[in-house]
Amino acid sequence: MDWKRTREPADAWHMTDDLHVEHGKGDPFAAAIRATRMSMVITDPRRPDNPIVFANDAFLRLTGYERHEVLGKNCRFLQGPKTDKAAVAQIRTAIEDNADVSVDILNYRKDGSTFWNALYISPVSNDKGEVQFFFASQLDVSDRKRSEHRITADKDRFEKAVKERTAELEAALEAQTTLLHEVDHRVKNNLQMISSLIIMQRRTIKDEATRHSLATMLERIEALSTVHRRLYQSKDVSRFDVSDFAKDLVTDLLTASGRSGIKPKLELDPIVISAEKATPVALMVNELVTNALKHAFKEGPDGTTAGRIGIKMSQPDGHFKIEVSDDGVGMAEANGDASFGMRLIKSLARQLHADIEWRDAGPGTKVVISMPNEPQQKGLSHD
């Protein structure tokens, strides 16, 4: 081989003669490479720094160089400041390993402008397997890169917008939760204040009938208080565990009555109702239990009262069933307050679409309320 650095551009096409010699291919092949629209170069790794030994016209058009400016040079003159170092390293490694490489790389023209080069390099070996040349083709893919960039930029912009919107919604939810807690807090405080006002007023009153009315009113308010205390204890603010409430209510009413001889009998399946049903159900249960406490039991000769108040809550067939029973003197005799209590119970039952039935339980009375309720979630019954 007698390659000379001083080889003139006009001699470049002789390269093909050399190729011809090496590969035994004819001129039509060489002519095709020269004339193709695909930019192509051939480098010689056996010479120092693997210089370009052939460049076709398409390469010169693409890069803006003259043939004499590129021949004898290593291809790295196409690189510039913004060329990705990793892509360069990838090419270098492939050349060192005599391997194929396909990489998109930012290259610079002679005038300093850039283009995206879909570069493909493959080694050309002789019969003995010795690499004699590298064959490289260049394709200007700037348009594709531009749209890729646009898509990436669009995607980034979109993701940013989604992130911003999500943050806004999260903040709104946070604000709403805070507001809910604030309102809940105020409702509870106000209920406490209403109770306090009634208790304080009651202390100043001597008349027994008025005191009794205020006590009944306090019981009703406190039933509402117990609902609200329990209402937002669960994570799901729209559900209300009515059995927990009943336990609280009955314990409270019995202790408050001071009649330790009356024992509660609680058979409470865990039953969840929607929050809007909580208040009417609570008021109804409160009326029935206080009614039984007041009217069902007679004092014994020793001045104490003995008996049993039972509450059963179950949902056997899609209907929420409440049974309030006592083993007292039978159907409660009506007085002024009881008849208001009765009206209250019946109105609340209408609101809840509940059937209500008084049964003589001999001894005592059993009130059975049945209302449609949504199916209970599985698992709750195992709590």
Residue with Cβ nearer other proteins (98 or 195): 195
Select from 8-16, 247-255, 283-291, 352-360 the region that touches other proteins (CB under 8 A).
247-255
Residue 217 near other proteins by CB under 8 A: no
Q: Is 25 in the site for other proteins (CB under 8 A)?
A: no
Instruction: Return the number of other C-beta atoms located less than 10 Å from residue 78's C-beta.
Output: 25
6-43 burial code (b ≥16 CB/10 A, e <16): eeeeeebeebbebbeeeeeeeeeebeebbeeeebbbbb
CB of 281 to other proteins, least distance (A): 17
Q: Which of residues 194-213 bind other proteins (CB under 8 A)?
A: 195-197, 199-200, 203
Residues linked to residue 319 through DSSP beta bridges, in sequence order:
372
Residue 322, strand partner residues: 313, 369
Beta strands 307-314 and 262-268 are: parallel
Q: Which is nearer to other proteins, 226 or 373 (CB)?
A: 226
Shortest reach from residue 179's CB to other proteins, in Å: 13
For position 294 contacting other proteins by CB under 8 A, the verdict is no
Q: Identify the residue among 41, 62, 218, 282 touching other proteins (CB under 8 A).
A: 218
Q: Which is nearer to other proteins, 7 or 239 (CB)?
A: 239
Tokens of 78: 């196409």
Site string for other proteins, 254-273 (x = CB under 8 A): -xx-----------------
Binding span for other proteins by CB under 8 A among 71-79, 164-172, 189-197, 331-339: 189-197
248 binding other proteins? (CB under 8 A) = yes
Residue type, 203: R
Could you say which of 33, 75, 191, 348 contacts other proteins (CB under 8 A)?
191
Q: How far is the CB of 249 from other proteins (least distance, A)?
A: 8
Distance CA 162, CA 156 (A): 10
Does 178 bind other proteins (CB under 8 A)? Our answer is no
Choosing from 11, 140, 252, 269, the residue that interacts with other proteins (CB under 8 A) is 252
Bridge partners, residue 369, by sequence: 322, 356
Supply the minimum distance, in Å, between the C-beta of residue 224 and other proteins: 8
Q: How many residues bind other proteins (CB under 8 A)?
A: 29
**Residue number, 79 or 201, with CB nearest to other proteins:** 201
222 binds other proteins (CB under 8 A): yes
Q: Which residue has the tokens 């509450």?
A: 311
Q: Which is nearer to other proteins, 190 or 347 (CB)?
A: 190
Contact positions with other proteins (CB under 8 A) in 79-138: none
Q: Does 247 bind other proteins (CB under 8 A)?
A: yes
Query: Can you name the residues that pair with 41 across neighbouring β-strands?
Result: 55, 136
Contact residues toward other proteins (CB under 8 A) are: 181, 184-186, 188-189, 191-193, 195-197, 199-200, 203, 218, 222, 225-226, 228-229, 247-249, 251-253, 255-256
